[in-house]
Amino acid sequence: MTETLPIAPWRVFTVTVRAVRRLSPSFTRVTFTGADLDRFADNGYDQRIKLALPLPGQRGVNLPNGADWYATWRALPAHLRNPIRTYTVRAVRPHLAEVDVDLVLHGDSGPATRWARRASAGDELAIVGPDAGYPGEHGGVEFRPSAGGTLLLAGDETAVPAISSICERLPLDARGTVVLEVPDAADVLPLAAPSGVEVRWLSRGADRYGSRLVPAVVAAAGELLTPGAAKAAAPMPDVDVDTEILWEVPEEVAPAPLYAWLAGEAGVIRTLRRHLVAERGLDRRAVAFMGYWRLGHADAD
């Protein structure tokens, strides 16, 4: 008698690159295909996945499978561990066995950017993503607004794929503001959003990260919050982004006049977190703050 193994929320998909499309100076879209990508769950919003990249001199990726894949991978010698980076799904087409991922091109120093700049059809790697056969929640989706509230979505270029996917799934009567800071004016991409959601693109050029995003989010919060809508400002613990991960997402969202979703460089997001929660008094249970990356720090696996 053959034992049927239970389906886990996530699984390893072996994939190849079907197409690479340069969207702008800072964005490249990679379309992946694979024999079992018809089982990739299309959860939308800001669904996170992990890309496992080839080791230097290797063509494919040999990533451990099973529920304990991560622990098995961590136990490998460093020179045998394929680099792993976290991204957001941009589109899923199960009927075509295709998944799109938009990659941000940051220089040429990290393994993900080096791979993205040279990616071509036929390249092999692995995706750790949600299994459509799993009957429960997969996890990895942090956008969980309260019903009927106004939205404030903001981030730098690393948050553009997630915010774009979120906006495409919003109900037609959604209201709010989207603020996106990108390196170059040519990085403004088509973004489908309901008519009640205003999208503001900001180009920072050679200025520092957050130089456009912070004042724009402060201004948007002032526009979206009526006087007295939030509770009185209260002290809140700070986060040392040099030693801690800034990732604060409420498990249960509290009813509030505004739901905020912010992601990007951790130091910038910490500043916005302090403004919205400590200064404006937004309920911490109605905000999601995610430090996608840290300036001056290598990406963590």
83 and 111 share one domain: yes
CB-based contact 30:101 (threshold 8 Å): yes
Within a domain: residue 48? Answer: yes
Based on the domain organization, do 192 and 243 belong to the same domain?
yes
Write down which residue in 130, 160, 176 finishes a domain: 130
Residue with tokens 């045998």: 80
Kindly state whether residue 274 falls inside one of the protein's structural domains. Answer: yes
CB neighbours of residue 218 within 10 Å: 16
Q: What CA–CA distance (Å, rounded) separates 240 from 135?
A: 38
Residue 191 and residue 105 share a domain: no
> Would 157 be classed as within a structural domain?
yes
Residue 239 counted as domain residue:
yes
> What region does 118 belong to: left with phi over 0, alpha with psi -120 to 50, or beta?
alpha
* Domain termination residue (choose one: 86, 101, 130): 130
> Do 126 and 155 have their domain in common?
no
Strands laid side by side in the 287-293 sheet: 197-203, 176-182, 150-155, 258-265, 287-293, 247-248
Q: Are residues 110 and 224 in the same domain?
A: no
Do 283 and 226 share a structural domain? yes
Q: Are both 160 and 212 inside the same structural domain?
A: yes
* Residue 2 belongs to a domain: no
Mean pLDDT, consecutive 10-residue segments, the chain of 301 residues?
64 95 96 96 97 87 82 89 94 97 82 88 95 94 89 98 98 97 97 97 95 98 78 58 74 87 96 93 92 75 50
Residue 4 lies in a domain: no
Looking at 131-248, which runs of residues are DSSP E strands?
Answer: 150-155, 176-182, 197-203, 247-248
Note whether residue 137 is domain-resident: no
DSSP-derived letter for residue 279 is I
What CATH number has the domain bearing residue 114?
2.40.30.10
pTM over 0.75, yes/no = yes
> Which residues are registered as beta bridge partners of 99?
32, 92
pLDDT given at position 3: 42
pLDDT given for residue 242 in this prediction: 56
The residue assigned the tokens 């792993």 is 84
Same domain, 62 and 181: no
pLDDT of residue 251: 85
How many domains is the chain partitioned into structurally? 2
Distance CA 176, CA 167 (A): 11
Q: Is residue 142 part of a domain?
A: no
| DSSP 3-state of 174 | coil
Last residue of a domain, one of 73, 97, 130: 130
Looking at residue 204, which CATH number applies to its domain? 3.40.50.80
| Phi/psi at 294 (5° precision) | -125, 125
Q: Based on the domain organization, do 19 and 77 belong to the same domain?
A: yes
Residues 108, 190, single domain; the answer is: no
17 with 112, same domain?
A: yes
Positive or negative: CA dihedral 126, 130, 134, 140: positive
Q: Report how far residue 187's alpha carbon sits from residue 190's, in angstroms, rounded to the nearest whole number.
A: 10
Distance CA 123, CA 97 (A): 16
Number of residues that make up the chain: 301
Supply the pLDDT for residue 68.
83
156: domain range?
150-293
pLDDT at 227: 66
**Confidence (pLDDT) at 11:** 92
> Could you tell me the two tokens for 249?
């997402």
Same domain for 271 and 238, yes or no, is yes
